Amino acid sequence: MDFSLTEDQQAIRQMAEDFAAGELAPHALAWDETKTFPVEALRHAASLGFGAIYAAEDHGGTGLKRLDAALIFEALSKACPAIAAYISIHNMCTWMIDRYGREDQRARYIPKLASMAYLASYCLTEPSAGSDAGSLRTKAVRDGDDYVITGEKQFISGAGTADLYVVMARTADTGPRGISAFLIEKDTPGLSFGANEKKMGWNAQPTRAVLMDQVRVPASAMLGEENKGFNIAMSGLDGGRLNIAACSLGGAQAAFDKAVSYMASRKAFGQSLNNFQALQFRIAEMATNLEAARLFLWRAAAALDAKTPDATRLCAMAKLFVTDHCFEIANQALQLHGGYGYLADYGIEKLVRDLRVHQILEGTNEIMRVIIARGLLAE
């Protein structure tokens, strides 16, 4: 059992940290304030291999492992969790096409997704089907050589800007076993988008409803087999949960680093804050939870790479543990800044806002507990 990173992994992490520090961090607060989706910065990230991190290399993927991806997303999130999280979602879509797509689909889409000439959005959640994704109502009806899709998706990251939508739609009235996955391009007639949602955080990426009114796509637009879409969606979420946990970890690490620096410079009652034992204890606890979160994330990523039987459960555990603890670390870092932590200029309040949603998306942390318990009790 070796907890050290290889030279290649260290180089990957350093490359991501350098990119984040040079191209994301200087603009993160402005992007948040102006609700700017920095597409060119995303394409610069893609030029480093971050557009198709764990897709196969034959069509332009980077061919890395899930642990490598966790290192990348942690590094990117130190600068901006909102942008890192969108890159995570894009990669989840890319992997699903790479894993389940026919060769013609892979050849058509993977190169564009790898370069981020095409951006992708994952469309599962609906206004009345969030945690209970198996009850989704969007329908795809066979009509000759086509499918006609009607329905609405909610809370879709990148919607309106993204070029390709991985859409889960009902093809049979058999619950989760009657769902299929489709690839729908942005300019398809009948596809439209709601207004950009006003959100607590994640302002640097758009979130809109995706509306489908008699959207006609060829049968060849189906991803994988008919009525197997729910399994495809869930398999994508295993990796998505690791990535969003990594985004929480990076944001929390950035907040922690800011707090330690602030404590060294701020004085009260004639001495710096880092001389007060109560605050020392708080820093010690935050650092311990950061390290525990990182180790848990790496453990789950290694299990997913190895395709172990407990990988899904470990991914759920990691998502639950890391997002809960890392939000609290960021919140404590804000507290250690006092009133200054509440000001936008210090960047702490943005990290707190951005990390809060990680406890909700990719399956709420309540649903993570359901997945964990079911897996354990089934044994």
Q: How far, in Å, CA of 208 to CA of 197, rounded? A: 6
Q: How far, in Å, CA of 193 to CA of 210, rounded? A: 5
The angle formed by the CA atoms of residues 212, 237 and 149, to the nearest 5 degrees, is 15
C-alpha to C-alpha distances, 76 to 15, 21, 65, nearest whole angstrom: 10, 8, 17
Q: How far, in Å, CA of 359 to CA of 356, rounded? A: 6
Using the 8-state DSSP alphabet, how is residue 205 labeled? S
Place of tokens 């809370």: 155
What's the full length of the chain, in residues?
Answer: 379
CB atoms within 10 A of CB 174: 11
Which phi and psi (to 5°) does residue 243 adopt?
A: -65, -40
| CA 215 from centre of chain | 27
Pairing of strands 207-218, 146-157: antiparallel
Q: How far, in Å, CA of 358 to CA of 228, rounded? A: 27
**Residues forming beta bridges with residue 164, ordered by sequence position:** 120, 185
Q: How far, in Å, CA of 251 to CA of 178, rounded? A: 38
Q: From 203, 82, 208, select the one nearest 155 (Cα to Cα).
A: 208
Q: How far, in Å, CA of 251 to CA of 365, rounded? A: 18
Q: How far, in Å, CA of 125 to CA of 193, rounded? A: 14
Which residues are designated catalytic? 362
DSSP-based three-state secondary structure for 17: helix
Burial class (CB in 10 A: 0-12, 13-18, 19+), 26: exposed
